[in-house]
Structures are given as structure tokens and as C-alpha cells.
Amino acid sequence: MLEEHLSFLKKNLDKNETFIQDWIDGKINNEGDPVNFDSEEKEIIKKSRCLIFGLEFIDHKREGSTSSKRFDVLTRLNEGANEYVLIELKSPNAKVFTTKEEPNDNSGVSTTYSLSRDLSRAIPEISEYHHLLKNGSDVDWQRCGLTMGPIAKNLIVIGTRKTGDEVWDRHFSNNRHHGLTEVITYTDLIRKMETTIKNLKVNLR
């Protein structure tokens, strides 16, 4: 199952966030073709495909709403506590940075890295969802099918890493944390899944 999910992600890093969300929600199959499952089947598929975020997360809630705002995924950290992680999905094909090159005084070129428009918008967006949930009522949480609890972390999944680009990696390391919000790429998600699959194979022999 995890290997199928991994294969899907690897093949679709050129797609947008709607495509990935439709796959998680069971609206398309692993080939990207529309499918028509009943609501019970979709829930089973959704639970399975949300495992891409990590086996440590449980009780994933997709597109819950609070104060008319819709978050992408809210998941519980473990079975024993009502502590949550809020996840915002952006496009695999989105840029993490925009770059600008300018001549410098040494007859060379200086490159300036700035957060991309997509990422710059995602950070305050997920912070607002966090604030609304933190200050939400029991009724707001019940609408999501969850018991009220603290949100330990916000997670934004966006873009991919530039293979072998040490400068890009350094800028990413310096800009991946924004308060309670952590930014990861789909490359990071894939690497985490590969490690999980490898560990499962070793430990389940």
C-alpha cells in the first residue's frame, strides 16, 4: 500500500495541489483517472492515502471547516492524547523560492532568494487556521469529528528540492521554520516514506 502511494507521488511531482487532493480524497485512481466510489469506500481510501504524511499520525480529517475557513488536513499525533498537527497542501510543481540575479562589484553575479508567492501566502494562511482552531469552541471541533486539543505544529507541504544544489538547500534550511509552522517539500515526504518502507521491511522479516 505505502509503496503504491510512494510510486504515485514520484510520478506526479509535476502536478498541482488539486490533483494531489483529489487523489487523497479517492476522486482519482493511481493513474489519475476519475473514479466513482461510494462514500464508505472513499473514507477507506482517504485514510489509507493520508498515511503519506507519516505513520505517527492518526485520525486524519480532510477539509474541515472553522469560521467558514477550510483547512486541508488536521491529524492527531498519537492515540493517547488530543494533540494535533495542521497540514496545508500546496502544489508539488510550485516554487519554494523565487530568485533574482544581479551583477555585483566583483564582475560576478549575486543571486537573491525570496519565498515564492505560493509559500508566502501559505504561511499566514495556515497560521490563521491555527488561530481559529485554537480559539474555536467544542462545537467547532465536534464539526470536525474531533475532541478539542492543542495544535503542536503546522506543516506546509510544497514544491520539490533542487537535487545537488547546496545553495538552495542552505536557504531552505534557513527558511523552513516560521514559529510553529514548518515547511517541507514533496521530496522530503518521499524520502520519509522510503525510510518508513525500508524500516518496515527490515523489522517485519
Report pLDDT for 24. 94
Kindly state the average pLDDT of the residues 48-63.
Answer: 88
User: What confidence score (pLDDT) does residue 203 get?
Assistant: 78
| pLDDT tens by residue, 155-204 | 999 999 988 889 999 999 999 999 999 999 999 999 999 999 999 888 77
If you count them, how many residues does the chain have?
205
d(CA 133, CA 26): 26
CB 34 within 8 Å of CB 28: yes
Q: Where are the beta strands (DSSP E) in 80-140?
A: 81-89, 97-103, 109-115
For 81-139, the pLDDT digits (tens) are 789 999 999 999 999 999 988 877 676 777 889 999 999 999 999 999 999 888 888 88
* pLDDT cut 70: percent of the chain above it: 96
